[in-house]
Amino acid sequence: MWERLRSMWTIPDLRNKILFTLGMLLVFRLVAHVPVPGIDPQSLQAALGKNPQYNQLFGLLDVFSGGSLQTFSVAALGVYPYITASIVMQLIVPIFPRLEAIQREGGEAGRTRISQYTRVMTVPLAFLQAFGQSAIFVQLGAISAGQFSLFNASTFLPTLATLVTLTAGTVFLVWLGEVITENGIGNGISLIIFAGIVTRLPQDAGTLLISTSAGGVTNTTNIVQIVVFLAVVALIILSIVFIYQAQRRVPVQYPTKRMVGRDRYAGSSQMSYIPIQVNMAGMIPLIFAQSMLIFPVILSSYLAFSSNKFVANAANNIRAWVDQSHWWYWAIFFVLVVAFTFFYAMVLWQQQNLPENLQKQGAIIPGIRPGPKTQQYLDAVLRRITLAGAIFLGIIAVVPAFFLVNGTQLLSAAALLIAVGVVLDTVKQLEAQMVMRNYSGFLR
């Protein structure tokens, strides 16, 4: 292993890519500590500490911002608006024939154009998210009401400056991620999220160590809980790796021709396979499900400060009902994750249009007629293996409900899936780079 690491470092091109990636991630961490002008981060943390009911709302956003939301830095929004725009584009492309034609027939230029549309959509989404988060912070008391108001002449310019700063921070992170993807190793957007998750580990570990002692006396029960927690985390990581790598290989027979004599061709065939991943949707279903459950919390957070007592009481009841302390929250979460896994996997599968492409190439699945029969067969295979992946994601999503130390949720399903997925993708790219240069991979 060490020998392979040394050989990887001796390749100048690969070494430069790694150093460039690390340098850009360092820039991201520096930007994540630049506060928004006029906002006191300590007041924000104090307000969040007094309102634990909002942990559900800001937990997912803090993962995508790499912890920048707690300090309300210029990168507080993270890349979440870009991820939202990407998901929206993937969902609306099959709906609009013009966009579908651009993506399917435009080749590399078509994909570049779709990416441009995604970047353009990111800007208004980031502005709206900046306004929504800032408005909630005003209601919590983290930001002074006399400091943030877009509809007040005296505070219009400071408010606009705050919103533009947060939007610019998101656009900068998106640009930084694309630069990493083009000139470094791995997917830049994913690496930015991964870097934010990793940088929070020392703080979380310190919190766990402090929780095991109270007044200088070690709490044995907490130590046992933490040991069990670490063992379960290791088991979950192994299972995530297994599911990410798992695939169903559908055999495909491609026609070929070979020369026999002069100007004579004899028909033959070549066997290959179609790899259908068990977890084709990745972690997107968790984002969908959490967004669906967070929406009532956001709506009730606005209405809870209404002067109408009936509206305020109804909003507080909704927020109390959609709370992570209730078992039905996790049951609904499990059902939503399973449903969105099937939905997103089907959307991605339809965009690939494999049955039609196989028919154009003259390829067949042994024992299956081309055309509609092939479509039905592949759809059936996809549904069967997606069921296993959907149940797995659902279980991973509800695992955090069973691991609390001193009332604190220690495990984030989204963070685990992101971290493992990014590591696997980066290792694959390192493997490809090593094989391309010296015919020997990073791993045996």
Q: 51, exposed or middle or buried, with CB in 10 Å at 0-12, 13-18, 19+?
A: middle
Among the three residues 139, 172, 199, which one is the final residue of a domain in this structure? 199
Taking the C-alpha atoms of residue 299 and residue 297, their distance in angstroms, rounded to an integer, is 6
Q: Identify whether residues 187 and 239 lie together within a single domain.
A: no
CB 80 within 8 A of CB 72: no
Q: Could you read off the pLDDT of 262-311 as tens digits, one per residue?
A: 555 545 667 788 888 888 877 778 777 877 777 676 667 666 666 677 77
Q: Identify whether residues 71 and 99 lie together within a single domain.
A: yes
> Is the predicted pLDDT of residue 361 greater than 70, yes or no?
yes
Number of structural domains (the chain) is 2
Q: Identify whether residues 332 and 258 lie together within a single domain.
A: yes
Q: Is residue 437 part of a domain?
A: no
Instruction: Give percent of the chain above pLDDT 70.
Output: 72
Q: What is the pLDDT of residue 123?
A: 92
Q: Is residue 407 part of a domain?
A: yes
> Is the predicted pLDDT of residue 172 greater than 90, yes or no?
yes
CB 365 within 8 A of CB 109: no
Q: Identify whether residues 29 and 162 lie together within a single domain.
A: yes
Q: 177, exposed or middle or buried, with CB in 10 Å at 0-12, 13-18, 19+?
A: buried
Instruction: Name, in order, each residue with C-beta under 8 angstroms of 67's C-beta and a sequence gap of 6 or more.
Output: 32, 196, 199, 200, 203
Look over the chain and give the mean of its residue pLDDT values, rounded to a whole number: 76
Mean pLDDT is lowest, of 207-211, 227-231, 420-424, for 207-211
DSSP string, 14-70: HHHHHHHHHHHHHHHHHHTT-BPTT--HHHHHHHHHH-GGGHHHHHHHHHHTTTHHH
3-class DSSP assignment, residue 129? helix
> Is the predicted pLDDT of residue 227 greater than 90, yes or no?
no
Q: Mean pLDDT, to the nearest integer, of 366-373? A: 82
Interior angle at CA 334, CA 332 and CA 337, nearest 5: 105
Mean pLDDT is lowest, of 208-212, 265-269, 337-341, for 265-269
Nearest to 47 by CA among 135, 143, 149, 148: 143
Q: Mean pLDDT, to the nearest integer, of 131-145? A: 75
In this predicted model, which residue has the larger pLDDT, 433 or 161? 161
Taking the C-alpha atoms of residue 415 and residue 327, their distance in angstroms, rounded to an integer, is 22
Q: Could you read off the pLDDT of 83-107 as tens digits, one per residue?
A: 888 888 877 887 888 887 877 776 7
Q: What is the pLDDT of residue 171?
A: 92
Q: Which residue has the tokens 């399903």?
A: 413
Q: Which residue has the tokens 């050989």?
A: 7
Q: What is the pLDDT of residue 206?
A: 65
Q: What is the pLDDT of residue 436?
A: 72
Q: Is residue 254 part of a domain?
A: yes
Q: Identify whether residues 237 and 154 lie together within a single domain.
A: no
Q: What is the pLDDT of residue 217?
A: 47
CB 272 within 8 A of CB 252: yes
Q: Is residue 316 part of a domain?
A: yes
In this predicted model, which residue has the larger pLDDT, 296 or 129? 129
Tokens of 27: 């820039």
3-class DSSP assignment, residue 383? helix
| Domain CATH for 83 | 1.10.3370.10
Q: Identify whether residues 230 and 374 lie together within a single domain.
A: yes
* Strand partners for 250: 274
Q: Could you read off the pLDDT of 45-77 as tens digits, one per residue?
A: 666 666 655 565 566 666 666 666 667 788 888
Q: What is the pLDDT of residue 167?
A: 92
Neighbours of 65 (CB within 10 A): 27
Q: Identify whether residues 22 and 66 lie together within a single domain.
A: yes
Residue positions counted in the chain: 444
Using only C-alpha atoms, what is the Rg of the chain? 25
Q: Is residue 370 part of a domain?
A: yes
Instruction: Name, in order, each residue with C-beta under 8 angstroms of 382's C-beta and a sequence gap of 6 or more.
Output: 276, 280, 345, 346, 349
Q: Identify whether residues 235 and 191 lie together within a single domain.
A: no
Q: Identify whether residues 157 and 290 lie together within a single domain.
A: no
Q: Is residue 292 part of a domain?
A: yes
Q: Is residue 14 part of a domain?
A: yes
Q: Mean pLDDT, to the nearest integer, of 307-332? A: 75
Q: 250: part of which helix (H) or strand (E)?
A: strand 247-259
Tokens of 160: 């606009």
Query: Whole domain around residue 46: which residue ranges?
Result: 1-199
Q: Is residue 423 part of a domain?
A: no
Q: Identify whether residues 237 and 159 lie together within a single domain.
A: no
> Is the predicted pLDDT of residue 408 greater than 50, yes or no?
yes
The bridge status of strand 247-259 relative to strand 265-277 is antiparallel
Q: Identify whether residues 177 and 228 lie together within a single domain.
A: no
Q: Mean pLDDT, to the nearest integer, of 356-369? A: 80
Taking the C-alpha atoms of residue 418 and residue 62, their distance in angstroms, rounded to an integer, is 13
Q: Identify whether residues 373 and 406 lie together within a single domain.
A: yes
